[in-house]
Chain A
Amino acid sequence: MEALIQPSVVDGKAALQARAVAKRYRGGVRALDGIDLDIPVGSICALVGPNGAGKSTLMKAWVGFERPSSGSVAVFGINPWRNRPAALDRIGYVSQKPSLYRGLTVADHVALAGSLRSGFDPGPTRRRLDELAIPLGQDTRTLSGGQQAQVMLALALGTHAQVFVLDEPLASLDPLARREFLHVLVDAVRADGATAVLSSHVITDIEQACDRLVVLGGGRKILDVPIAEAISSHRVGTAEALPETAGAQPVGTFPGPFGERLTLWLVPPERADDPALRGATLEEVILGQLAASRSPRTPTQGQPS
């Protein structure tokens, strides 16, 4: 087994890695454009970006669903395209669209997971579903979108994988269901010492659950920092405001909630008390970074994330 894994090792320090990953679809559509990324072990990382940024493509590359056109991806150092079983052994995946079997009950899905994956732990999975008041005997067709997402998450968590890849699982959920989903995810990941990557457009959810932020735009990595650092190192002011802080750098200008133009500034953390600027929210950091990625160069078109 060691001989099989060894040639696939890229680095081995991060849970998930991408090295110069590019993905081009037929017709020249470019979804990823030379992404370099390390997801540290133990982090809960938010993958954020507009539609077409390449989030889903990157996640699917990690689970072995998309083969990069160039570059390489790795799961704990294992290339999923060279040693898919070993890579998948370490991954729990929740897809964008709940993909449960029509006509099977929740309990059937738990049994299915047990039959497909050695080491799947049905006990905690059933308990978790029970705590969420999801009846095991219920046909999954009759479950709400939130319940279906919870079943998908429970099945993924039951694998006791080392890293969870969640591709916009919150997209169709109401606020309460999103909150419950994230609560279950964070609890389980922290308890197992696992790693998680979560793509989402809902910034408040990310702020609540994640400790690291990766922003993608046009198939490129725009930002990759801990969330606390992302907030502390940025300030916001109106487009006309000029900071007094030496070394402050404008990042990007974007529309505010009332139509005003706001500018995101990158400031040194120790010089964060500039009176012309206020603290940035996570959403403003992301909007400013995305605006910056669009203005100087035209981003390439990608597949919908």
Chain B
Amino acid sequence: MRTTIRLLLKTYRFEFIAITLACLAMAGAELYLTSRLDALALPKECQFDQNISVEQGFATQPEEPVSDPTLVDSCQEKAIAFSDSDQRSAVLMSFGAALPVLAGILIGVAVVGRELETGTASLAWTLSRSRRRWYLTRALLVGAILGGVLLLPSFTANILEHARQPLIDPGSSFNDGGIRGPVLVMLGLLTYSIGVVTGAVVGRQLPAVIITLALALLAILAFENGVSRWESTLAEWQPAASSSYSIDIVLEQDYRDRASGLIVDQGSVFNAAPQVDGGPDGAWIDAHYDSVALVVPGSRYGDVVAVETGAIGAALLVLLGLGLFVVIHRRPD
């Protein structure tokens, strides 16, 4: 097995070096921005945008205004610097989301596609009595190495997320949930397995790269769509004041009738309310209704990640099984 790993690393050294360098660069940049954000040491009183409630919408005002004038000045200065680094972090994390996809395509297509293109498949498939063993050994080992390399930027993305929102535990927040942590690794492995299958079917690397890119984007869109639908089944009604855009997934904002306990949509409430100064009477609404939000609470983030990871893992197994079928039945040229 040691020989197999050594030869695989040597065979795919260009891909592994490129992916490792990209991951190291991404991790380094994320850690650098983390240190920048941490160095600003934004006081808790200044972190008024950390937990914006549903009721406050996207307002950037603190719940309790800062009374100390010197602190206000300090807050402004630090908040501007913090915001600058935060914006850079957001851009970096977006690039970080593309990295596993590109890495998965780059090496996934090569695992079988290059063997077919260069003719080495005929050598390997006659030396090895079992194509199944040949395929599973290389597909699983290369996948494991790729997953191991991708762990680093996925981990540092979590660290950066915590630096961007110091008052929030990234493990209990849906903010940037799809572009950090284990989901990032799994998306890389998903595109890797799509690349393996496409390479095995097409047998040419360049066309396989293009096809894999298109298939991977479709797969990710379908996955995100499916996850969104599934997440909505976890949603629960909560008082709007206790829900946060930065932590939870807020699906809907409505009112609960205090008398009947029924959920009523905003339009119906505004129509029912007496009109004051050309608009609905807020005091009347507050007296009769509670503002509520349908949310997937951030506390469910771990559960969602576990299910997402499992779902992608299942898709990986199906795709690798499909690749096995193709390898067993196709000609080597």
Interface residues of A (CB under 8 A from B): 60, 63, 65-66, 84-86, 88-89, 91-93, 95, 97, 99-104, 108, 111-117, 120, 152, 155-156, 159
Query: Residues of B contacting A102 with CB < 8 Å?
Result: 118
CA distance A60 to B331 in the complex (A): 9
Q: Which of A89, A93, A108, A115 contacts B129 (CB 8 A)?
A: A89
Point out the residue from A92, A115, A155 that lies within 8 Å of B3, measured CB to CB: A115
Contact A103 B126 (CB under 8 A): no
Given known A92-B126, A113-B127, contact A66–B331 (CB-CB < 8 A): yes
Among B10, B119, B122, B130, point to the contact of A93 (Cβ < 8 A).
B122
Which chain B residues lie closer than 8 Å to A101 at the CB level?
A: 11, 118, 120
- Interface residue? B124 (CB, 8 A): yes
Contact A112 B331, CB 8 Å, known A95-B123, A99-B118, A117-B128: no
Q: Which of A85, A88, A99, A159 contacts B119 (CB 8 A)?
A: A99
Tell me the minimal C-beta distance from A223 to chain B in angstroms. 28
Interfacial chain A residues near B127, Cβ < 8 Å: 112-113, 116-117, 120, 155, 159
CB distance from A61 to the nearest CB of B (A): 11
Kindly state the interface size class of chain B when it binds its partner.
20 to 34
User: Shortest CB–CB separation between residue B272 and chain A, in angstroms?
Assistant: 71
B4 in contact (CB, < 8 A): yes
Known: A104-B10, A111-B3, A115-B3. A85 touches B130 (CB 8 A): yes
Q: In this complex, which of B13, B123, B331 has the most chain A Cβ atoms within 10 angstroms of its Cβ? A: B123
Residues in B neighbouring A89, C-beta threshold 8 A: 129
Residue of B nearest to A113 (CB): B127
Contacting residue for A116 out of B118, B124, B331, B333, CB 8 A: B124
B interface residue numbers (CB < 8 A to A): 3-4, 7, 10-11, 13, 118-131, 134, 331-333
Given A88-B129, A114-B3, the answer on whether A100 and B120 have CB atoms closer than 8 Å is yes
Complex interface: chain A residues within 8 A of B7 (CB)? 104, 108, 111-112, 115
- Give Cα A115–Cα B7 distance, bound, in whole angstroms: 10
Q: Contacting A100 at CB < 8 Å: which of B4, B121, B123, B131?
A: B123
- Nearest CB on A from B134, distance (A): 7
| Residue in chain A with minimal CB distance to B123 | A99
* A residues in contact with B128, CB < 8 Å: 88, 116-117
What chain B residues lie within 8 Å of A111 (beta carbons)?
3, 7
Can you list 21 A-B pairs with a CB-CB distance of less than 8 A?
A63-B126, A65-B332, A88-B126, A88-B129, A93-B126, A95-B122, A97-B119, A99-B121, A99-B122, A99-B123, A102-B118, A103-B10, A111-B7, A112-B7, A113-B127, A115-B3, A116-B134, A117-B127, A117-B128, A152-B123, A155-B123
Judging by beta carbons under 8 Å apart, are B122 and A103 in contact? Answer: no
* CB-CB nearest in chain A for B11: A101
Q: Beyond A95-B123, A116-B128, A117-B127: 10 further Cβ-contacts under 8 Å?
A: A65-B332, A85-B130, A99-B122, A108-B7, A108-B10, A112-B124, A115-B4, A117-B128, A120-B127, A159-B127
Q: Could you say which residues of chain B place their CB within 8 Å of the CB of A114?
A: 3
Give every chain A residue within 8 A of B125 (Cβ-Cβ). 65
Asked if A104 and B11 make an inter-chain contact with CB atoms under 8 angstroms apart, the answer reads yes
Q: In the bound complex, what is the Cα–Cα distance between A117 and B123 (angstroms)?
A: 11
Contacts of B124 in A (CB 8 A): 112, 116
Q: In the complex where A65-B331, A117-B129 touch, is A99 in contact with B120 (Cβ < 8 A)?
A: yes
Q: Cα distance A102–B126 when bound, in Å?
A: 18
CB distance from B100 to the nearest CB of A (A): 25
A100 contacts across to B, CB distance below 8 A: 120, 123
Q: Across the interface, name the chain B residue whose C-beta is closest to A105.
A: B10
Query: Are B126 and A91 closer than 8 Å at their CB atoms?
Result: yes
Contact across chains for A65 and B122 when beta carbons are under 8 A apart: yes
Alpha-carbon separation in the docked complex, A111 to B126 (Å) = 15
Return the 3 tightest CB-CB contacts between A and B, nearest first. Answer: A99-B119, A93-B126, A116-B128
**B123→A85 contact, CB < 8 A:** no
Instruction: Identify the closest chain A residue to B5 (Cβ).
Output: A115
Query: What is the CB-to-nearest-CB distance from B189 to chain A, in angstroms, rounded to a whole number?
Result: 24
- Tell me the nearest residue of chain B to A109, going by C-beta: B123
In whole angstroms, what is the CA distance A91 to B121 when docked? 16
Bound Cα distance from A102 to B11, whole angstroms? 8
State the CA gap A114–B117 with chains docked (Å): 23
Rounded to whole Å, the gap between the CB of A295 and the closest CB of chain B is 33
**A112 CA / B332 CA spacing, docked (Å):** 18
Known: A89-B129, A115-B7. A103 touches B123 (CB 8 A): no
Q: Which of A89, A101, A112 has the most CB of B within 10 A?
A: A112
Residue of A nearest to B330 (CB): A65
CB distance from A305 to the nearest CB of B (A): 13
Instruction: For the complex, give the distance between the alpha carbons of A111 and B3 in Å.
Output: 7
**Chain A, Cβ-Cβ closest to B121:** A99
Provide the residues of chain B in CB contact with A103, threshold 8 Å. 10-11, 13
Q: Please measure, in the bound complex, the distance between the C-alpha atom of A104 and the C-alpha atom of B128, giving whole angstroms.
A: 18
Q: Which residues in A have their C-beta under 8 angstroms from that of B122?
A: 65, 93, 95, 99
CA distance A126 to B313 in the complex (A): 43
| Docked-complex contact A95 and B119, CB < 8 angstroms | yes
**Whole-angstrom distance between the Cβ of B122 and the nearest chain A Cβ:** 5
